[in-house]
């Protein structure tokens, strides 16, 4: 028996469809108690603030977030007895707001993007709330270094990973897992995935994209860019189509950033398997070449990726509506509330 729901944080690593001659495996983070990878940094940042004496009983927590961190903070705050306020751009999915409120936290919506949410959270911090600062707080990548990374190492069953290919928001996930994998496998490639429409890591000017959680439009302090071997760009339409494919063909329901990361991981796996640079429209491969020595002796090359959350969190965005339409004769409308 676990003493707290927070002790159930953890997730499986699952082999998913890959190209012939390569293996792709994904960390299914929707299996965490709050339904996303963000339970890990939420718990770590709150416990780091407690350890530093910055958060004590009776304090209120505030954080600007596009959603999953807010849910994670709401879960941890509820389990530990803190009040919490999540400041969120009003464009993010309705499910997340409802979930955060269901855990007893307050949601404050701001007109604009994550930068506007950050400004408002700074104001609330000046009024006395404790802000966790997920983009700069070292406890965020450290949470993945100490939990997600070691889980993966155990789940590899002795195989050597050749690449970690995953999306970037705060950078906590890729930095924490990447550093841990590099500690055991110095040769592993670490490849970031970002929105094609907002490809700042690739050197583009910030743009507009409708991804939730991935592509903040700036280079986060928590992204260790020195870790990266390359950056792949995936457009949202391709990512959402990949989410529908994963659900229908593999029985795995995930959100946009997971679809994008999976597409990119599959392309990387294909390149490892074939050793060539394929033409593939939705993904531009920048500055990355497959290593010649990929694959453990006697095994296919292994590419790891992360699925941050469940597609259930995106139903109101209409991204699965293409499936619904076929069943309902084409008259399904999109609830973007
Ligand atoms: C759905 C989703 N995908 C990807 C990410 C990116 O993770 P990280 O912030 O660790 O880079 C997040 C972060 O909130 C997210 O919510």
Distance separating the N- and C-terminal Cα atoms of the chain: 39
pLDDT reading at 112 higher than 90: no
Ligand 1 closest atom vs CA 168: 11
pLDDT of residue 184: 97
Pocket lining: 168 vs ligand 1, CB cutoff 6 Å: yes
pLDDT of residue 335: 31
Mean pLDDT value of segment 28-44: 98
Cα 117 to chain centroid, rounded:
19
pLDDT reading at 52 higher than 90: yes
pLDDT of residue 89: 84
- Determine what percent of the chain is predicted with pLDDT higher than 70: 89
Mean pLDDT value of segment 268-273: 88
Q: Given 111, 131, 151, which residue is the final one in a domain?
A: 131
Pocket lining: 148 vs ligand 1, CB cutoff 6 Å: no
Catalytic center residues: 38, 257
Shared domain for 117 and 257, answered yes or no, is no
pLDDT reading at 324 higher than 90: no
Answer whether residue 280 is part of any domain: yes
Ligand 1 closest atom vs CA 258: 3
pLDDT reading at 175 higher than 90: yes
Token pair recorded at residue 216: 């903040």
Pocket lining: 26 vs ligand 1, CB cutoff 6 Å: no
pLDDT of residue 51: 98
Q: Given 86, 111, 131, which residue is the final one in a domain?
A: 131
Shared domain for 11 and 75, answered yes or no, is no
Given pLDDT bands bounded at 50, 70 and 90, which one contains residue 202?
Answer: confident
Which stretches of the chain are assigned E, i.e. beta strand? 13-16, 23-28, 60-64, 83-89, 106-110, 130-131, 163-167, 189-195, 230-234, 283-286, 302-307
Answer whether residue 174 is part of any domain: yes
Answer whether residue 334 is part of any domain: no
Shared domain for 187 and 319, answered yes or no, is yes
| Mean pLDDT for the chain overall | 89
Judge whether 255 and 306 are in contact, CB under 8 Å: no
pLDDT reading at 280 higher than 60: no
Identify the weakest region by mean pLDDT among 113-117, 169-173, 192-196. Answer: 113-117
Judge whether 307 and 36 are in contact, CB under 8 Å: no
Answer whether residue 217 is part of any domain: yes
**CATH code (residue 161):** 3.40.50.1100
Shared domain for 18 and 90, answered yes or no, is no
Mean pLDDT value of segment 192-201: 92
The candidate with the shortest Cα–Cα distance to 147, out of 6, 301, 2, is: 6
Q: Given 105, 131, 157, which residue is the final one in a domain?
A: 131
pLDDT of residue 334: 32
Shared domain for 74 and 16, answered yes or no, is no
Shared domain for 145 and 223, answered yes or no, is yes
Collect contacts of 206-210 with beta carbons under 8 A, ≥24 apart. 209/236, 210/91, 210/236
Domain count, the chain: 2
Mean pLDDT value of segment 113-124: 90
Please give the angle made by the CA atoms of 238, 148 and 211, to the nearest 5 degrees.
25
CA 247–ligand 1 middle distance (angstroms): 20
Shared domain for 33 and 60, answered yes or no, is no
Answer whether residue 330 is part of any domain: no
**Per-residue model confidence as pLDDT tens digits over 222-267:** 999 999 988 899 999 999 999 999 999 999 999 999 999 999 999 8
CA 298–ligand 1 middle distance (angstroms): 34
Pocket lining: 311 vs ligand 1, CB cutoff 6 Å: no
Shared domain for 100 and 161, answered yes or no, is no
CA 241–ligand 1 middle distance (angstroms): 19
pLDDT of residue 297: 65
pLDDT of residue 332: 34
Shared domain for 96 and 224, answered yes or no, is no
Name the CA dihedral angle for 266, 271, 276, 277, rounded to a multiple of 10 degrees: 50
pLDDT reading at 286 higher than 60: no
Answer whether residue 256 is part of any domain: yes
Mean pLDDT value of segment 73-100: 90
Pocket lining: 68 vs ligand 1, CB cutoff 6 Å: yes
Judge whether 28 and 307 are in contact, CB under 8 Å: yes
Shared domain for 72 and 220, answered yes or no, is no
Structural domain that includes position 91 = 39-131
Rounded distance, CA 10 to CA 151, Å? 8
Answer whether residue 69 is part of any domain: yes
Q: Between the CA of residue 41 and those of 50, 169, 180, 261, what are the distances in Å?
A: 14, 13, 15, 20
Given pLDDT bands bounded at 50, 70 and 90, which one contains residue 287?
Answer: low
Shared domain for 142 and 123, answered yes or no, is no
């Amino acid at each position: 028996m676990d003493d707290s729901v927070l002790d159930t944080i953890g997730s499986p690593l699952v082999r998913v469809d890959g190209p012939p001659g390569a293996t792709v495996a994904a960390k299914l983070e929707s299996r965490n108690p709050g339904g996303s990878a963000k339970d890990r940094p939420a718990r770590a940042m709150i416990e780091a603030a407690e350890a530093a004496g910055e958060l004590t009983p009776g304090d209120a927590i505030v954080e600007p977030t596009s959603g999953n961190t807010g849910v994670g903070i709401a879960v941890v705050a509820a389990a530990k007895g803190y009040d919490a306020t999540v400041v969120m751009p009003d464009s993010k999915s309705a499910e997340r707001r409802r979930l955060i409120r269901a855990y007893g936290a307050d949601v404050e919506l701001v007109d604009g993007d994550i930068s506007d949410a950050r400004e408002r959270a700074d104001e609330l911090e000046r009024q006395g709330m404790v802000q966790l600062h997920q983009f700069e707080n070292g406890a965020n990548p450290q949470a993945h270094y100490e939990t997600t990374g070691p889980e993966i190492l155990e789940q590899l069953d002795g195989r050597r990973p050749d690449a970690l290919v995953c999306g970037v928001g705060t950078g906590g996930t890729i930095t924490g897992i990447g550093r841990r994998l590099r500690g055991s496998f110095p040769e592993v490639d670490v490849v970031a995935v970002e929105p094609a429409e907002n490809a700042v890591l690739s050197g583009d000017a910030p743009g507009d994209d409708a991804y939730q959680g991935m592509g903040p439009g700036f280079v986060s302090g928590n992204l260790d860019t020195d870790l990266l071997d390359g950056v792949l760009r995936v457009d949202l339409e391709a990512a959402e189509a990949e989410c529908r494919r994963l659900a229908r063909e593999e029985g795995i329901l995930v959100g946009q950033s997971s679809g994008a990361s999976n597409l990119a991981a599959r392309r990387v796996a294909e390149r490892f398997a074939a050793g060539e640079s394929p033409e593939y429209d939705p993904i531009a491969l920048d500055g990355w070449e497959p290593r010649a020595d990929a694959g453990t002796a006697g095994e296919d090359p292994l590419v790891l990726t992360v699925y941050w959350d469940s597609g259930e969190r995106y139903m109101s965005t209409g991204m699965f509506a293409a499936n619904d339409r076929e069943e309902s004769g084409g008259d399904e409308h999109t609830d973007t509330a």
